[in-house]
Amino acid sequence: MKKTYINGVGCISTQKTFDTVFLEEAIPHTDETVLTVISPVYKDYISPAASRRMAKGVKNGIVASALALKDANVENIDAIITGTGLGCIEDSEKFLKNILDNNEEFLTPTSFIQSTHNTVGAQIALTLQCKGYNFTYVNGVVSFESALLDAKMQIEEDEANSILVGGIDETGDYTISLFKLAGRVKDESNLTSNILNSKTSGAIYGEGASFFVLENEKKESTYAEILDVAIINTLDPNEVETEIVAFLKANNLQISNIDALILGFNGNVDSDIYYKDIAKNAFAATPQLYYKHLSGEYDTASAFALWMASKVIKTQEIPEIIKANSVEKPVYNTILLYNQLNGKNHSFTLISK
């Protein structure tokens, strides 16, 4: 079976994650409850005429994919696989608002056409003239992991040599207002200077687009190898350690072989208990990292985490801003990522040098 290598990465997020050294300009967000992306210069990648009609999620996806392809020094790919939780939610909101405002008459179809979840994958394919396999996974918080799993299986089975995989989500004003009503978004009076010490429910929400070029060959640009991805729908906090041990055992590893653990802490006291239990016990002697104080919470935030993990393995450095504990190791060869949202849809991703 062929191995799967990450040969190029591109990330547009609520931090400056392009045209800069790894997280050098990152700032933790402690005074906002909803974060917006730091936009690149879109006209460098998309013609202004086309850009005007695109939602920000589509534009960010196109730019992040272009950055990944450039990083991998690749022009042609065999497949495009994307994951998204809410798709192009801004255009969906726009279209529904037009229906109400115009009494269901005289509607322009543009917003409707652009509102589907697979718009990003389609636009990237049009840009690259890629006529290969093009699939979008919409599986909530494991949308990106589903895309990753699909790509890994295709490369292993020799169905494709080079695949572009990404996770994209954007915020929409109306959707965020519903999330606030449902208590998903932190109240502004409950903001904390460090989400690791949060005592309240709700999370800081964000958006972003992270893309990866996965190939079956090791190159000069290679960041890491993807060893395994696993998705489990429901777990109790006391079952997480058992599942991680079994997952590592299936890859001939144990907890002591993990050089860094990346956890999806989002400041929600109700679900961060899943991370706190293993951080305090099983992985107490392992360097622990976190990222949602930088990226915000969204369905494909784990793609930002994979971008971060890839950079850690390649640079062999862990910026102070993402350290959740003070444990250090001389080398970072094997990294485990664990994410979940509100106690559901648990995912484990294992990468190594």
**CB atoms near residue 277 (< 10 Å):** 15
Domain ranges of the chain: 4-215, 227-352
pTM comes to 0.94
Average pLDDT over residues 333-351: 95
pLDDT surpassing 90 at residue 116: no
How far apart (Å, rounded) are the C-alpha atoms in residues 46 and 53?
Answer: 11
pLDDT surpassing 80 at residue 30: no
Average pLDDT over residues 48-77: 90
pLDDT tens-digit readout, 197-214: 888 898 999 999 999 999
Question: What was the pLDDT predicted at 115?
Answer: 80
* pLDDT interval class at 314 (50, 70, 90): very high
Distances (CA, A) of 86 to 98, 191, 229: 19, 25, 22
* pLDDT interval class at 316 (50, 70, 90): very high
Task: Check for a shared fold between 4-215 and 227-352.
Answer: yes
pLDDT tens-digit readout, 208-246: 999 999 999 999 999 999 999 999 999 998 899 999 999
Average pLDDT over residues 44-69: 89
Q: What is the CATH number of domain 4-215?
A: 3.40.47.10
Minimal CA–CA distance to 337: which of 280, 242, 259, 246? Answer: 259
CB 232 within 8 A of CB 33: no
pLDDT tens-digit readout, 1-27: 889 999 999 999 999 888 888 888 888
Which fold is adopted by the domain 227-352? Peroxisomal Thiolase; Chain A, domain 1 (3.40.47)
Average pLDDT over residues 138-166: 95
pLDDT surpassing 90 at residue 190: no
Q: Which of 185-194, 248-257, 259-268, 342-351 has the lowest mean pLDDT?
A: 185-194
